[in-house]
Amino acid sequence: MNSEHHDLLSKREAAVLKHLQPPPLEIDQRRAERLPIKLPIYYIIQGSHDSVSAQTTTLNMSGGGVEFLIPRMVSPMTVCRLTVTLPKQPIPLVFLGHVSWCRQGRGKHKHQYEVGVVFSTPDSCDEPTFACYCHFIAAQLLTKYLT
Amino acid sequence: MPETSSFTMLGRLYDTLPQFLRPVEFRIVRTVGELCASAHLVYDEYLKRNYLRPHASAMRLSMYHALPTTATFIAHHRQHGIVGTISLIQDSPLGLPMDEAYKNELDELRRRGQRLAEASMLALDSRLFGRRVFTLFHAKKLLMTLRLFKVMFDYLRSTTSANELVACFNPKHQILYEFLKLKPLGGLKTYSGANGNPSVARHLNIDETKRQATSHVAYRLFYGKRPSAKPFANQLRLSPEELRTLFVQHLSILPSASPSELAYIQSCYPTYAFGKILEPPVPSAISHGQF
Q: For residue A27, what pLDDT is reported? A: 47
Between B289 and B226, the higher pLDDT residue: B226
Among residues B237, B265, B280, the one where a domain terminates is B237
Same domain, B189 and B281: no
Domain presence at residue B103: yes
List chain B residues with CB under 8 Å of A30. 10, 13-14, 130, 133, 138
Nearest-Cα distance to chain A for B133, in Å, is 5
Question: Distance between CA A14 and CA A8 in Å, rounded?
Answer: 10
Cα distances (Å, whole numbers) of residue A47 to A69, A72, B40: 17, 12, 51
In which domain, by residue range, is B258 found? 238-291
Q: Which residue on chain B is closest to A128 by alpha carbon?
A: B175
pLDDT number for residue A12: 57
Q: Do B250 and B57 meet the contact criterion of CB atoms below 8 Å apart?
A: yes
B262 shares contact with chain A (CB less than 8 Å): no
B136 and A130 within 8 Å at the Cβ level: the answer is no
Is residue A12 domain-resident? no
- A101 has a pLDDT exceeding 50: yes
CA-CA distances (angstroms) from residue A5 to A1, A18, B40? 6, 20, 44
Helix/strand number for chain B, H first, E second = 12, 7
Residue B7 is predicted with a pLDDT of 32
Tell me the pLDDT band of B131, cut-offs 50, 70 and 90: low
In this predicted structure, the answer to whether residue B256 has a pLDDT above a threshold of 90 is yes
- Measured CA to CA, the distance from residue B219 to residue B211 in angstroms comes to 10
> What average pLDDT is seen over chain B?
88
| Residues B233 and B273 both lie in one domain | no
> Is there a contact between A137 and B136 if contact means CB atoms under 8 Å apart?
yes
- Model pLDDT, residue B9: 35
Q: Give the total number of structural domains in chain A.
A: 1
- Of A127, A84, A114, A119, nearest to A98 (Cα)? A119
Domain boundary among B237, B265, B282: B237
Gap from B279 CA to chain A (nearest CA, Å): 40
Q: How many CB pairs under 8 A join A and B?
A: 88
Per-residue pLDDT tens for A51-96?
999 999 999 999 889 999 999 999 999 999 999 999 988 888 888 8
Residue B220 with chain A: CB contacts under 8 Å: 146
Helix axes A127-146, B139-159, angle to 10 degrees: 80
Does A118 map to a domain? yes
**For B66-106, what is each residue's pLDDT tens digit?**
999 999 999 999 888 999 999 999 999 999 999 999 999 99
Judge contact between A141 and A94, C-beta under 8 A: no
Which residues of B, range 91-150, sit inside 8 Å of A by Cβ?
Answer: 125, 127-130, 132-134, 136-140, 142-143, 146
Cis peptide before A90 (omega within 30 of 0): no
Q: What is the pLDDT of residues B179-201, one digit of tens each?
A: 999 999 988 998 787 788 899 99
Residue B193: the pLDDT is: 76
Residue at B65: amino acid letter: H
